[in-house]
Structure 1
Amino acid sequence: MTSHPGHPGGEPTGDAPEDPSREAAIISLESSFVRLVRAFRAQMAALAEATSPGMVPGTLKAFIAIEQHGPMPISALAEHLALDKGLVSRTVSELEELGFVERSSATDDRRIRIVSATPLGSARLSAAREGAENPLSARIHSWPTPDIEQLRTLLDALADGTPPTEAVHGV
């Protein structure tokens, strides 16, 4: 099935020949994503190390999710991270040993354990963010705000699997 730019929403039509320049653009975009992911991984590794020496990026990602989304059950954290509940439970134990999170029982069901960030964990992450060089922020610092917002809109559309809004394309 192929995509036809003139078709509403750019939906696949099945009868249009594939555009070689479109295919090249998609391959180029994939390459750009590989570079971006590599840069992001390096940044996360540096931030994890700055937050707590020896911390791995996966542990930091779990802590950031807890801090951003507030107290949650381990099962919700595992779902958010798209990881196995056992792995997430071990990660939470590691964060608990560092004093970055604490577990408590849910008020409506004492069997459910809720994980929340501690003031120590939040302070350490904040200090690491302030002291760490943020290459992404530095790279887009001079970009106009509408360009940053457009990029965010396009990335959200890509992640959600929805077509970009007409406003993004200036239509």
Structure 2
Amino acid sequence: MSAPTDRAAGRDDDGGVHLDDAVARVEHEFGRLFARIRVGWREAAATVHPDLQPLGYQVLVAILGGEATTAGAIVERLHTDKSAVSRQVRQLTELGLVDSIRDPDDRRARRLVATALAKERVAIARAAYESRIGDRLRTWSAADLDHFADLLNALGS
């Protein structure tokens, strides 16, 4: 058995890091990463329009990506409540970033479509973000990036 000081230092019996300590470190690093992502969303939203909230930016990106073209689909995609999405869609429409059109397959339903202005502004916001993250990721080897992508995929499965 290792000495208590080794345990307190986060080392197991053979000198390696304890699994619980490694998990805690990953959780800590995810917290830091998510905080950076939230800042990125805030900056991207402001780039699109000074009055746009980060959730509004996420809604707009979901619409642009074709991942969600109805309010219900956006609620599912973003795992948020219907009233928040409704407020964001209303604001996006008022800002001229989204049009609400009748669904050709179901005349009672509405589909959300990003305007040309939205496409232009989101492209600008994405370029700035992708440049920052791309610069960081390009310092890694292709093998490390591939391994990282595999680990993220496994975590999300």
CA contact under 8 A between 1:71 and 1:117: conserved in structure 2? no
Which residue type is aligned with residue 139 of structure 2? S
Residue aligning to 2:8: none
Residue 57 of structure 1 pairs with residue 54 of structure 2: yes
1:153 CA drift (Å): 2.1
CA distance in 2, matches of 1:28, 1:134: 27
Residue aligning to 2:145: 148
CA distance in 1, matches of 2:151, 2:29: 14
CA contact under 8 A between 1:50 and 1:132: conserved in structure 2? no
Which residue type is aligned with residue 125 of structure 2? A
Which aligned pairs between 1:45-84 and structure 2 lie closer than 5 A? Answer: 45-69=42-66, 72-84=69-81
CA contact under 8 A between 1:43 and 1:134: conserved in structure 2? no
DSSP 3-state at the match of 2:108 = coil
CA distance in 1, matches of 2:76, 2:59: 11
Q: 1:117 aligns with which of 114, 118, 122?
A: 114
Percent sequence identity is: 31
DSSP 3-state at the match of 2:93 = helix
Change (3 A) 1:48 1:36: same
Residue aligning to 1:22: 19
Residue aligning to 2:35: 38
CA distance in 2, matches of 1:28, 1:127: 34
Runs of 5+ consecutive residues of structure 1 not aligned to the other structure? 1-18, 161-171
DSSP 3-state at the match of 2:118 = helix
1:134 CA drift (Å): 4.5
1:141 CA drift (Å): 1.9
1:150 CA drift (Å): 2.1
Residue aligning to 1:6: none
Runs of 5+ consecutive residues of structure 2 not aligned to the other structure? 1-15
Change (3 A) 1:80 1:133: closer
DSSP 3-state at the match of 1:69 = coil
TM-score (norm 1): 0.75
CA contact under 8 A between 2:97 and 2:118: conserved in structure 1? yes
TM-score (norm 2): 0.81
Instruction: Give the CA RMSD over aligned residues.
Output: 2.0
